[in-house]
C-alpha cells in the first residue's frame, strides 16, 4: 500500500495497555515497516513504553493550554456549535518543555 508506518495503541484504549501487542507487531514488522505506538503517550510514560515495546518512534500528546489574547468576550455569543463544548478563548499547543522532558526520559532508556 506504500505505507511507511502504522500508528497503533495495540488494540487497547491506551498504548501503555497495549504494549505487549505493540512489541509483537514491532518484532513481526522488522525493518519492513515502522510500528508507532500512540494514544495516551506523554513525557511520564514514554520511557516505560519504549522499554516494554522496543519502539523507536512515538506519537505523543504533550499539549499545553494557552489563553487567547482576545480582550472583548461576549458570553452571550458562541463562535462554536451549541452542542460542542470547547473553550473559545484558549487553544492547545505543543509544549516545548514537555517535549524536552519526553526526550530526556526517552534518552535515559538507551
- The range of the structural domain enclosing residue 40 comes to 5-107
β-sheet bridge partners, residue 35: 6
Q: What cell was used for 53?
A: 515495546
**pLDDT (0 to 100) of residue 17:** 98
E-state strands within 26-71: 34-37, 63-67
CATH of the domain at 93: 3.20.20.380
Q: What are phi and psi of 26, to 5 degrees?
A: -65, -45
For the chain, give the percent of residues with pLDDT over 70. 94
pLDDT per position as a tens digit, 74-85: 878 777 666 767
Strand partners, 6: 35
Phi, psi (degrees; rounded to nearest 5) at 46: -65, -40
List, in order, residues 6 or more apart from 49 with CB less than 8 Å away: 15, 16, 19, 22, 37, 41, 55, 58
Q: What domain count does the chain have? A: 1
CA distance 4 to 29: 11
Amino acid at each position: 500500500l506504500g505505507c511507511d508506518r502504522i500508528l497503533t495503541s495495540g488494540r487497547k484504549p491506551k498504548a501503555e495497555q497495549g504494549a505487549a501487542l505493540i512489541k509483537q507487531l514491532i518484532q513481526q514488522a522488522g525493518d519492513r515497516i515502522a510500528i508507532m505506538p500512540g494514544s495516551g503517550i506523554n513525557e511520564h510514560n514514554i520511557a516505560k513504553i519504549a522499554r516494554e515495546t522496543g519502539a523507536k518512534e512515538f506519537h505523543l500528546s504533550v499539549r499545553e493550554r494557552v489563553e487567547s489574547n482576545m480582550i472583548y468576550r461576549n458570553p452571550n455569543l458562541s463562535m462554536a456549535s451549541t452542542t460542542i463544548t470547547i473553550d473559545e478563548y484558549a487553544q492547545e499547543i505543543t509544549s516545548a518543555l514537555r517535549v524536552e522532558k519526553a526526550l530526556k526520559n526517552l534518552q535515559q532508556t538507551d
